[in-house]
Structure 1
Amino acid sequence: MDQIAPIDPPATAETSPRFQQKRNGIIDAAATLINERGLKGLTFVAVAEAVGLNTTSVTYYFKRKEMLAATAIERTIDVLADELETAGREATPRDRVSKMIALYLTQSGSARLGEARPLTILSDMRAMDEPQRERLTSAYMARIARGSARLFGDPMDLQNRARGHILLDTLFWSRAWLAKYSVGDYERIGKKLMALFEHGILPDGATWEVRAPDRVPEPEIGEITPETYLRVATRLINERGYRGASVERIAGELNVSKGSFYHHLEGKDDLVLECFQRSYGRFSQAQRRAINLPGTHRDRLAACLGDLLDIQFEASFPLVRITALQALPTELRRIVLARSDRMATRFSGMISDGIEEGTFRPVDPLIASQWVTGLINSSHDMRFWAAEQPNRAEAVAAYAHQIAHGLFTPR
């Protein structure tokens, strides 16, 4: 298995236990800061305060903030790669996936209790500057993305790549809602997640039709408006994260000056919050349209999935990735998370009502709703996989099949 080349060659002084202890403490602090504030919030001042050193001492271990961030991300890639390698030794795809869920949740619980080092949220890897961004992204694709696909068989198979993506994004998204549970509940949560991976949410023998709705193409607008900035910012946030969607990059995409940006908008944080508000508005509208449709709750969820997955795979104006909220100021993040929870709760109600009417399998509706919400959110990352399908309608149906019947049932 390929290894990431170390950022700094080890020197003799760096082999001492005291040096390594201090260095690990700095990396732990960096991981925690990135998780809480995003890459934007990682500063040497904050790290020094967290570990009881001065900033000059921190620079002895890491000369630049980008090197420290890259090392924190690198360590997480190493941990996940080791977990995937361990899980890959199991006999069957089901056993491998079950093992991976258990390993991930055990590590998450131990880190929450302070018994293991924290893993860094990997979404801000998109915002890294070159050459770290390319190096870490390549390592992630080779070791993590391919390793997750390998749990299901041939890592080059398109369906296995989709399955591996769903597995990883489910685990990564769990960080947004696991805090609502006690660590003592993690074992039960792992079993409930495995049940979803194994069987999906539909009863045995049941089917549904998940179709993309007919959309009227939006006319192209020649002039630059606040709406234009919103679309470009949403796409850049998804591709580069909050930090990567800079005012300079947004203005550059539109071939306008920074002055033009501030003529249309108050500031970047206002624009990012508006990106979230618009995405959540579109998400909620799709849910409400589906809820008001005739038929069963299964029919309604299928209609909602078709609507939202089509938006994500069409890709010109996707929903903004929720992972970008990590870099928002605390109060804005609280607003965004609250609305995300409301959307998941709405799915929970649909699934719970569907269980009562017998159109859904008796799953844990709270966990299932977070699963569905996270997979819709992350499906934009599968747009290149979707483009390799015969058409977008087929891509929507294939992706939704995993939700309906689990990751092990052929379509």
Structure 2
Amino acid sequence: MEALGAIDSTADGSTKRFRAKRDAILAAAAQAINEQSAKGMTFADVARRVGLNTTSVTYYFKRKEDLAAACFDYTLEQLQAMLDEALIEPTPQARVARYLALNMDRLARIQRGEATSFAVLSDLRAMEEPVLGRLMNGWRDVFRKTRSLWGIGQTRAHTDLYGARAHVLLENTFWLPIWLGRYDPDQYARVEDRLMAVFAHGIAADGAAWTPALLDLAPAEAEPGREAFLLAATRLINELGYRGASVQKIASQLNVTKGSFYHHLDAKDDLVIACYKRSLATITKAQRLADAESGDHWHRLSSAIATLLDFQFSDRGPLMRTTALSGVAPGVRSALVARSNRIARRYAGMMSDGIAEGSIRAIDPLVAAQALMALQNAAFDMRKWASTMPRDRAIAFYASTLAFGLFDDRVLSL
């Protein structure tokens, strides 16, 4: 499949027009995927966005799946290009700083109308074979290249730790468009500096230890079977996206009929909302239990983080990924995102109190809170990685990426 802009550049006007129109279609399709998911994107919507009719779009891409795949290919290519540029830098910290700067510059250009967004990869797993296999290979190449920002691991433990760092870095740059819009473009440079400070030095004050308490998140199940139902649905939606996780697939996962689905919920939108509310309630419970802990605010914050990572890595998990909300009605989505923002502000409040008492580094708590939201939101994707080591080690490795920063190896001695 040709990458965006890979068509031979010649003096022939028709070739230039073809390429320009194809690029416009890809940009419009990426916007549609980000708003509605790859499954929800339609040729009619893409055509409307670029001022064409549907037949004109099919001239460039015969099937909707071809168009979605081309969008994902472009995203992977852009990530590879940014990583290649970052890898020129001489040290891990300089490479991460360069990669972050390239992402911030891209988002600033989008804000100024000089560039268009590329498609987020949350729906990639919902693609069908054989395209799925090729795209997943491309994603694994991106992950390995990101991990190489820290060099070659001297031991298996180093490789495991670098893998955690790569995942948290990637997820934070994917998360940026979710919250960066709260800042004016002239503040982007400041945000970049504050986020890089968290990456470089972490949240905990100098000398802080990693001794969190795992808090009891056991649910008080109101309806027999409902927790298991929501758990299975959350896993499938996280893996396949809102539209990729059909009612039939969810029912099959539980070995029940579709009729049993409608015993629990009236419609699929109700299912996504129920799953997301379950996740938000779990996070809020962890925060409240952490607030009730004795000790300083770093101990309380680290206990909340460790508890939620334990949940994500265990059979009780996962939490619903925010990207699953792309298929929900805008009004409902706004209400759920608002609740998610309150959770982020609660983290910021815990950090502000910790900064005042000296147990947390003097960081920007609002920026650091969003970094934590990205970490906990995506941890479920690392469950296979976590299963290769003791749970407490997996939690410590993954949490250390923001607790102590992306370049501190003290966690290797735990």
Corresponding residue of 1:29: 28
- 2:95 is paired with a residue whose SS is helix
Q: How does 1:151-230 map to 2 (within 5 A)?
A: 151-154=149-152, 157-213=159-215, 225-230=225-230
Among 150, 161, 172, which residue is 2:148 paired with? 150
- For residue 39 of structure 1, report the CA deviation from its aligned partner: 2.1
Distance 2:371 2:269 in 1: 28
Q: Does 1:141 align with 2:143?
A: no
Change (3 A) 1:50 1:181: same
Deviations 1:30-65 (A, max 9, x none): 011111222243111111111111101111111111
Structure 2: which amino acid aligns with 1:99?
Answer: R
Extract unaligned runs of 5+ from structure 1. none
Deviations 1:313-345 (A, max 9, x none): 114431111121122221121122101100000
Asked whether the 8 Å contact 2:248–2:258 carries over to 1, the reply is yes
Distance 2:364 2:146 in 1: 25
Corresponding residue of 2:88: 89
- 1:290 is paired with a residue whose SS is helix
Number of aligned positions between the proteins: 403
Change (3 A) 1:215 1:118: closer
TM-score between the two structures when normalised by the length of structure 2: 0.92
The percent identity for this pair of structures is 46
Change (3 A) 1:33 1:387: same
Q: How does 1:210-289 map to 2 (within 5 A)?
A: 210-213=212-215, 225-289=225-289
Distance 1:218 1:59 in 2: 52
- For residue 112 of structure 1, report the CA deviation from its aligned partner: 2.3
Corresponding residue of 2:101: 102
Asked whether the 8 Å contact 2:47–2:53 carries over to 1, the reply is yes
Asked whether the 8 Å contact 2:30–2:117 carries over to 1, the reply is yes
Change (3 A) 1:15 1:82: farther
Q: How does 1:53-72 map to 2 (within 5 A)?
A: 53-72=52-71
TM-score between the two structures when normalised by the length of structure 1: 0.92
Corresponding residue of 1:337: 337
Structure 1: which amino acid aligns with 2:284?
Answer: S
Change (3 A) 1:10 1:372: closer
Change (3 A) 1:100 1:357: same
Q: How does 1:282-361 map to 2 (within 5 A)?
A: 282-361=282-361
- For residue 14 of structure 1, report the CA deviation from its aligned partner: 11
Q: CA RMSD in A?
A: 2.5
Q: Does 1:377 align with 2:377?
A: yes
Asked whether the 8 Å contact 2:29–2:41 carries over to 1, the reply is yes
Distance 2:210 2:316 in 1: 27
Change (3 A) 1:88 1:315: farther
Structure 1: which amino acid aligns with 2:233?
Answer: A
Distance 1:218 1:385 in 2: 30
Bigger mean CA deviation after superposition, 19-28 or 126-135: 126-135
- For residue 91 of structure 1, report the CA deviation from its aligned partner: 0.4
Bigger mean CA deviation after superposition, 292-301 or 267-276: 292-301
- 1:34 is paired with a residue whose SS is helix
